[in-house]
Structure 1
Amino acid sequence: MPRPSNTEARREQIVAGLLKAMAERGYEGASVAEIAKAAGLSPGLVHYHFEDKQEILLTLVRSLASRARQRFTARVAKIPADDARGRVEAFVDAFLAMGPDADVAAVAGWVTISAEAIRQPEVRVAYEEAVRADLEQLEALVAAVVGRRRARPLAAGLFAAVQGYFVLSASAPGLVPPGSAAGTVKRMAAGLLEAAGPGARDDA
């Protein structure tokens, strides 16, 4: 794999700086100066690589979405292709499991991004694009268990539970027992898929 260019590395450093600054000060308080400080760079370098703070945020949206998909890819590679339910569980684990690749700062950042998506149309577009791709992937996984006609509402419900845990863990962490999120949503998934009926698939 080729090494990232200096420009790519600097941009990644700045995006990580925004994530860190948001965790401490929120998006409004994460000025370019604060982002630069968190990244260990000068404000001039931040301005050289990004037009403004919003461009950094839009890049962060894509970065966080990519990281979650990489976690899913790593987990699902260990699941047999014919284990459809196991692949649904791998999706939940990728987003919620507290393993060595868990990223608490990323979860908090995603909650901040969802709030900015309400305020900023450009952020909303990027956020919706990322969420749509993840939801479509989950829907395809669920469809492999219950069939296409039943998959959409079940996938939407499970995805809403994942997003709800993000909000709780970021805004009121004391309300969520540590390490409980993935197991709880996987049990929800098992119950919903089972309730869809024996053999479940409606379009096989």
Structure 2
Amino acid sequence: MGRPSNTEERRQQIVAGLLRVMAERGYEGASVAAIAKAAGLAPGLVHYHFKDKQEILLTLAEQLAARVHERVASRLARVKGGDARAKVDAFLDAFLATGADADPHAVASWVTISAEAIRQPEVRAIYEKVVRTDIAQLEELVAAVTGKRRAPAVAAGLFAAIQGYFVLAASVPGLVPPGSAASTVKRMAAGLLDTAQGSEES
């Protein structure tokens, strides 16, 4: 695999700069000058590689989604055999668990992206595509436990809990005890899966 081009490296620096600044100041507070400073580049280079701040945001949204999808795939690959419940837990862990691959800046930035999705149609298009893909995958995993009829409601509920934890962690630092989100949502999942599975069988 060849070395990334100078242009790719610069674009990655700029996207990483937005990630850092946006996690601390939000999207409105992420000026091009602040992004350039965080990236260690001159502001002119930001304008050279991206037409505007929104283009950087859209690139960041796509990259954050790709990171999470890699994390989900990695966690699912660790599940032995066809343990359907363990796969649901692995999905939840991928989104919420702490560890070497956890990134609080990414969580804070994703919350900001979700807010910008309400205001900007271009951001909404990417955000909606990512969320629909994630929920569809979770729904498929849940359906293997509960059957298809109840899977949409259970998957939507669990995904809403994930997003809620993201908002709390980003908006009110220190409110969510470290490591508690994944264990709590997994307990919620167990209750929902048991109830849904029972209703499918009856």
Per the alignment, residue 197 of structure 1 pairs with 197
- Residue 59 of structure 1 corresponds to 59
Letter in 1 for 2:6: N
In 2 relative to 1, CA 144–3 (structure 1 residues): closer, same or farther, beyond 3 Å? farther
The aligned counterpart of 1:92 is 92
What letter matches 2:176 in structure 1?
V
Two-structure CA RMSD over aligned residues (Å): 1.6
SS at match of 2:78: coil
Deviation for aligned residue 1:201:
7.1
Q: Residue 150 in 1 paired to residue 143 in 2?
A: no
- CA change 1:188–1:42 in 2 (3 A) is same
Deviation at 1:92, TM superposition (A): 0.5
Deviation at 1:174, TM superposition (A): 2.5
- Cα distance, 1:200 vs. partner? 5.1
Distance between the aligned counterparts of 2:101 and 2:55, measured in 1?
26
Is 2:147–2:197's contact at 8 Å kept on the other side of the alignment? no
Structure 1 41/185 Cα, relative in aligned 2: closer, same or farther at 3 Å?
Answer: same
User: Whole-Å Cα distance in 2 between the matches of residues 80 and 42 of structure 1?
Assistant: 49
The count of corresponding residues between Structure 1 and Structure 2 is 202
- 2: CA distance between counterparts of 1:2 and 1:149? 48
Q: Is the 8 Å Cα contact of residues 146 and 200 (structure 1) preserved in structure 2?
A: yes
CA contact (8 A) 2:23 2:106 kept: no
In the alignment, the residues of structure 2 paired with residue 44 and residue 79 of structure 1 have an alpha-carbon distance, to the nearest angstrom, of 47
Structural mapping, 1:32-71, within 5 Å: 32-71=32-71
C-alpha contact (below 8 Å) 2:135/2:159 kept by paired residues: yes
> 1:151 & 1:16 partners in 2: Cα distance?
36
TM-score (norm 2): 0.95
Q: Which amino acid aligns with 1:110?
A: W
Matched residue type, 1:67: R
Three-state SS of the structure 2 residue aligned to 1:29 is coil
1:183 alignment partner in structure 2? 183
CA distance in 2, matches of 1:141, 1:167: 24
Could you tell me which runs of 5 or more consecutive residues in structure 1 were left unpaired when the two chains were aligned. Answer: none
Report deviation, 1:14: 0.7
Alignment gaps of 5+ in structure 2: none
**Cα deviation, residue 149, structure 1:** 1.5
Indicate conservation of the 8 Å contact 2:145/2:197, yes or no: no
Q: 1:192 to 1:21 in 2, by over 3 A?
A: same
Verify the 8 A CA contact 1:145 1:200 in the aligned structure 2.
no
Residue in structure 2 matched with residue 137 of structure 1 by the alignment: 137
**Once the two structures are superposed, what CA deviation does each residue of 1:134-184 show, in whole Å capped at 9, x if it has no partner?**
111111111111111111000000000000000000001222111100000
